[in-house]
Structure 1
Amino acid sequence: MMKGKKKVIFVTDGDETAAHAVKAASETLGCYFLTLSQGNPSPVDAKGLIKKIKEATLEPVVLLFDDAGCPGIGQGEQKMTEVAKSPEIFLIGVVAVAAHSYVNDWTKVHLCVDRQGKLTEYGVDKEGFEEVETGRIRGDTVDCLDINEIPIIIGIGDVGKMGGYDALEKGAPVTKKALTVILERSGLREPPK
């Protein structure tokens, strides 16, 4: 990690439910959730996001990006790529969110967290159920992940939902687990003994 760079985590979802879940999980883990990154699609341009990341009082900074169902490289992915390429940013990991639509793209993932909070090498679907293939998920805002060098990508179902398994009232445990794995793999948290 380069000294002076702000450490960030991206989450590839941006609706209101996802924002509440990611905010709760981030705050529990001592991360800084950048509220203005939420939206469907993400409303703030990359320069505005980078400015706010630099002003954040904690690290890592957690941001949401969403393409609003746009096939291929959409607005959310364009902004994600611009932020990741900033010389002032160090992207430590991505929570890649699965989608049901068959027009969506696939991305490789290092691990997934299923709806029960279990780590798995298999992909997961939007409901957080394991898929039959290993090491990849289908999602809406994931098309650019394979072309960026990202230390750790964790696949997950629909943030804050998954049939209630990731509900805000439960503390968004699946989202929290995905963020925790990124923090552990990046050396920012000690894994449990």
Structure 2
Amino acid sequence: MGKPISVIVVTDGDKIAQKTVETAARNIGARCISASAGNPTPLTGEQLVYLIKQAAHEPVVVMLDDKGKHGMGAGETALAYLARHPDIRILGALAVASNTEFTQGTHVDLSVDCHGNLVDGPVNKLGQAIGCNGEALCGDTVEVLDELNLPVIIGIGDVGKMNYADHYAYGAPVTTKALQEIIKRSGYDGPRCH
């Protein structure tokens, strides 16, 4: 077995999130598995590993989404599989805030707000530095993150939205900044990203 493949996970997968994540991945020189997009996630963990191994280079960005399902939905199930797979090294997660009710949320190491600023603690769906549950970021595909012992978790508002602050037509600046922070803080030592 060779060196594990470096992966960044994004806990959102709707159509706007897909275009935004594709743009942000391109901005930093990463590869995006576009087939991972969907609401909910259309692929299993096994299928994602196969596609990740086909990527032209690292790091590889994967989208995972539960479509608001409480408990372990398709996105969280696939995420847990990736995190435990010996051929995958998750550099970090981009934890996307949503208005999902009755969620425990997840801790974040820091967040990128709707203005592109790094902030301590969580943000809400609009990218404002306000958590929904004390110090937790609330979202529908984030509760499993605390169990996975990932190197870094960066919070963000609704990818590609946040009142157009992160729209792909404007270069996905907030998502790009968040992916750059994951690269920087994870200890990634592969091909240079920008």
Taking structure 1 as the reference length, what is the TM-score of the superposition? 0.93
> Does structure 1 residue 38 correspond to structure 2 residue 37?
yes
1:87 to partner: Cα distance: 0.5
1:135 CA displacement: 4.7
Equivalent residue number for residue 127 of structure 1 = 126
* One-letter code aligned to 1:157: G
| Residues 93 and 151, structure 1, Cα contact 8 Å, conserved in 2 | yes
Amino acid across the alignment from 1:185: R
Indicate the RMSD between aligned Cα atoms, in angstroms: 2.0
Q: Match for residue 63 of structure 1?
A: 62
Distance 1:78 1:50 in 2: 13
Letter in 2 for 1:71: H
Tell me, yes or no, if structure 1 residue 74 matches structure 2 residue 73: yes
Partner Cα distance (2:20, 2:75) in 1? 19
Q: Distance in 2 between matches of 1:65 and 1:141?
A: 7
- Tell me how far apart the structure 2 counterparts of residues 188 and 177 of structure 1 sit (CA, whole Å): 16
- Please name the residue that 2:115 is paired with: 116
2:144 and 2:155 map into 1 onto residues whose CA distance is 14
CA contact (8 A) 1:72 1:105 kept: no
Once the two structures are TM-superposed, the CA of residue 124 in structure 1 deviates from its matched residue by 0.4
Q: Is the 8 A contact 1:111 1:135 kept in 2?
A: no
- Between structures 1 and 2, the one with greater strand share: 1
* Identical positions, percent: 41
- Cα offset for 1:136? 2.6
Q: How does 1:1-193 map to 2 (within 5 A)?
A: 4-131=3-130, 135-188=135-188
SS in structure 2 at match of 1:130: coil
- Counterpart of 1:59, as a letter, is E
In 2, distance between residues paired with 1:74 and 1:20? 23
Q: How many residues of Structure 1 are paired with residues of Structure 2 in the alignment?
A: 191
Task: State the distance in 2 between where 1:75 and 1:188 align.
Answer: 27
Q: For 1:188 and 1:68, how far apart are their aligned partners in 2? A: 30
Q: Name the SS of the counterpart of 1:87 in structure 2.
A: coil
Whether the 8 Å CA contact 1:12–1:142 is kept in 2: the answer is yes
Query: Conserved in 2, the CA contact under 8 Å of 1:117 and 1:177?
Result: yes
Q: Does the 8 A contact of 2:30 with 2:60 survive in 1? A: yes
**Alpha-carbon contact 2:94-2:153 (below 8 Å) kept:** yes
Q: What runs of 5+ residues in structure 1 fail to find an aligned partner?
A: none
User: Secondary structure of 1:106's partner?
Assistant: coil
